[in-house]
Chains A and B, each alone.
Chain A
Amino acid sequence: MNNSSFGETFRRGIITNNPLLFQIMGVCPVVAIALSVKTAAVVAVINALELIIIELLSCLLFKKLKRHFRVLIYAVLGFAINLPLLAAISRHLPDLTESIGIFLPLLAVNSVIAVKCETFAVKNTVRDTVFDSIATAIGYGIVTVAVGAAREALGSGTIFGKPIGLPYTAEAFLAPLGGFLILGFFAAIVKGLTAKKYSEEVNASMLDTSQIRMLHIKHLKQLIDESGDDDIFFDDSVLNDLEPKQSIFRRKQKTVAPEQTIVIPEEIQSFSEPEEKEEEKTVGYQPFADLLKTLEKHEPEIVVEATEPEPDPLELNEEWEVRDEELLESVEETEKASDEQQDGGDGQ
């Protein structure tokens, strides 16, 4: 995350780590009052101001404070920024204040601000913090305005107050349920469009609904194990039906984890190693993953078993050895770095 370019941070904030679509933070004002483009824009602007200012301040000043105090200070600062803005809105846009109600003041204790400050601003440099806060604010704003526009069009048949001539307008979209529905559909669309390109990032920040159902299955299996047949009236085959086979929210199966022990058939050993790319080097044992991927494409019959005796990948041949030394060094470095970070965090 450190020293990442503005473009990358920007992409994270708007797409893969979007607070509204994937992390489901700060949903309340969007669902409650983003009924038109106008109100949505007001919400987006106020949230952006608060987010940028508070995140910058927390990065500059509050790094050495304890967490409990920091969260309190975020709330106080939020109201300090929010109250004058509210006064200005009530003077210049008196129509809005009635419809906005309690939800605009509530933006002061927005979860986006607290989470972003605690997870990012306190741990990073000023430059990264500014980038991140701007990107998050823009991502939040775009989604808010889009939801507001969709609800205005579907719920009251207008955009910017001008009728667009829809044959049917559904009032339900002006209720909170419409907000949730449209947010959900936007999240699904954005995930569907970006899932291939940034699958790891999207999956990491996504709420996985299939886990809920898997929990249910686990509970039912537990029930079968614990109690006798008298109390329960269903077959085990019910469990097979429950498992989410065609749900679109199922998480993609990951490729073979690098830590797994692998028995390599002789045919594979002659496989030529892919060219080295410094960018793709990760903590895990990358060449194996690449090899397995290519094998899965070309020769589906070969089964890679995860069985007992672990052949030391260092001793296979010379090529592997060279790669491994570099990798080991990088692993040690990252471990050291993470240890230092943890120590520093504990010390605070």
Chain B
Amino acid sequence: MATDRAAMPQEVKDTRKYSLGTLLMLAPLVVMSTYYYGERALRMTLISVLTAVIAEYVGSVFVRKKATLADLNALCIGVMIPLLLPASSPLWLPLVGVVFAIVAVKLPFGNARSNMFEPVSAAIAFLTICSKAYMFGYPKVGVITYQSTILQPDYVAGTSLASMLYQSNSIGTNLISMLDLWIGSFVGPMGATCGFAFLAIIISMFFSRRDELWATGSFILTAALYAFLFPRVLTGRIVSVAMELSAGMLVFAAIFLITNPAILPKTRNGKIFFGVFAALLTMLMRSFGVFEEGVCFAVLITNALSEQFDKIRIPSFRRRQPEKAPLSDEEFERITDASFIDVGEAPSAGGVGNE
């Protein structure tokens, strides 16, 4: 590996660095999922990481490319997908998702630097359409055992926040406190519940990925504003904001899915509007859509429009500096060396140089 690393082109090194950062940011979520759901969470993560590596290798052979495992992007995909699934999902569910993400979404467009759609959100959307029952059949926290899937007798179903919101139920009636929302002790995706972990990740992003934070921040703020203005529960606007933000995969998507550097717009305004648009779509899909969680679809639609956000220009209200008047001939001669200027009539030699 050491010799390989020396021969790597600079882009691959950059992507590798970025992926290592992403893996570091994902680490607390993996720890929390293992804390809540035990060995099974780790097992799912391991299986999907292995699948990702194998799929990337085999797929790149079919595309007749050099395997792009060195940039570690496949590992990120492999870790992210199981974190967004319920802990009770059968073990082949992350496997199908990872294979779809890499073979059908990532590899056709090349490598991590030429993504057109975020592979993780595409995989989650695919699984949502294919097997809705498994995707939204969340188990109760801590009651999971090795074999519990929906079909097993020891499976204890829980009600996720997203489905509560879908039916306009508040957390007050379901005995969940605000502290529970922060430490993530409520029913939901395996690794996308813990508020404190997300807060820590966002703070770390402030130091390492400030550019991406524009999209993340605008996404979360817009979602919060929407939840404040149009609450779906009757117990108050603050509760609505707290529930909407912690339900489903919203903050996870804000941090990891919409900030794919290959897709994100390049200008600051573009990033902000990218986040705003994705958040509005997400909240509209939650309110009026078929599924209780629609972040993945919103991210995909926004990805398709990504290049358009660079064209948005806000007229700046700052006073612009007046344009300088064109130089007079004397100034022009003083600044420039006359010998280099090729005009029809040559200036008198030495006149300028002696000054």
- Flag if A170 contacts B267 (CB, 8 Å): no
From residue A278, how far is it (CB to closest CB) to chain B in Å?
36
Choose the segment among B49-57, B103-111, B152-160, B162-170 that binds chain A (4+ C-beta atoms closer than 8 Å).
Answer: B103-111
From residue A110, how far is it (CB to closest CB) to chain B in Å?
26
For B110, list chain A residues within 8 Å (CB).
Answer: 244, 246-248
Q: Which of B130, B266, B268, B320 contacts A238 (CB 8 A)?
A: B266
Is B126 in contact with chain A by the CB < 8 A criterion?
A: yes
Choose the segment among B27-35, B245-253, B311-319 that binds chain A (4+ C-beta atoms closer than 8 Å).
Answer: B311-319
- Flag if B129 contacts A171 (CB, 8 Å): yes
Q: How far is A212 from B308 in the complex, measured between Cα atoms in Å? A: 12
- Flag if A246 contacts B114 (CB, 8 Å): yes
From residue B103, how far is it (CB to closest CB) to chain A in Å?
9
Q: How far is A172 from B246 in the complex, measured between Cα atoms in Å? A: 28
For B46, list chain A residues within 8 Å (CB).
Answer: none
* A201-223 Cβ-contact flags toward B at 8 Å (1 or 0): 00000000000100010011001
Is B230 in contact with chain A by the CB < 8 A criterion?
A: no
Q: How far is A230 from B318 in the complex, measured between Cα atoms in Å? A: 10
- Flag if A175 contacts B266 (CB, 8 Å): no
Q: How far is A241 from B131 in the complex, measured between Cα atoms in Å? A: 37
Chain A residue at minimal CB-CB distance from B111:
A246
Q: How far is A102 from B60 in the complex, measured between Cα atoms in Å? A: 40
Is A231 in contact with chain B by the CB < 8 A criterion?
A: yes
* A224-250 Cβ-contact flags toward B at 8 Å (1 or 0): 000110111110001001101111110
Is B206 in contact with chain A by the CB < 8 A criterion?
A: no
Q: How far is A44 from B267 in the complex, measured between Cα atoms in Å? A: 47
From residue A247, how far is it (CB to closest CB) to chain B in Å?
4
Chain B residue at minimal CB-CB distance from A188:
B108
- Flag if B104 contacts A181 (CB, 8 Å): yes
For B269, list chain A residues within 8 Å (CB).
Answer: 231
Is B334 in contact with chain A by the CB < 8 A criterion?
A: no
Q: How far is A87 from B119 in the complex, measured between Cα atoms in Å? A: 45
Is A168 in contact with chain B by the CB < 8 A criterion?
A: yes
- Flag if B267 contacts A248 (CB, 8 Å): no
From residue A218, how far is it (CB to closest CB) to chain B in Å?
11
Interface size on A, residues (CB 8 A): 33
Q: How far is A246 from B111 in the complex, measured between Cα atoms in Å? A: 7
Given the interface contacts A216-B310, A220-B310, A231-B313, does A170 sit within 8 Å of B109 by beta carbon?
no
Contacts A181-B104, A247-B114 known; 14 new A-B pairs at CB < 8 A: A168-B92, A168-B96, A170-B126, A172-B130, A184-B108, A188-B108, A219-B310, A220-B266, A232-B268, A234-B268, A242-B266, A246-B110, A248-B108, A248-B110
Ranked nearest first, the 4 interchain pairs of A and B with the lowest CB-CB distance are A233-B268, A172-B129, A247-B110, A170-B130
Offer 29 A-B interface pairs, CB within 8 angstroms, sorted by A. Answer: A168-B92, A171-B130, A172-B130, A181-B104, A185-B104, A188-B108, A212-B307, A216-B310, A219-B307, A219-B311, A220-B266, A220-B310, A223-B267, A223-B310, A228-B320, A230-B316, A230-B318, A231-B313, A232-B268, A233-B211, A233-B267, A242-B266, A244-B110, A244-B114, A245-B11, A247-B109, A247-B110, A248-B65, A249-B109
Interface positions of B (Cβ within 8 A of A): 11, 63-65, 92, 96, 104, 108-111, 113-114, 126, 129-131, 211, 266-269, 307, 310-311, 313, 316, 318, 320
Interface positions of A (Cβ within 8 A of B): 167-168, 170-172, 175, 177, 181, 184-185, 188, 192, 212, 216, 219-220, 223, 227-228, 230-234, 238, 241-242, 244-249
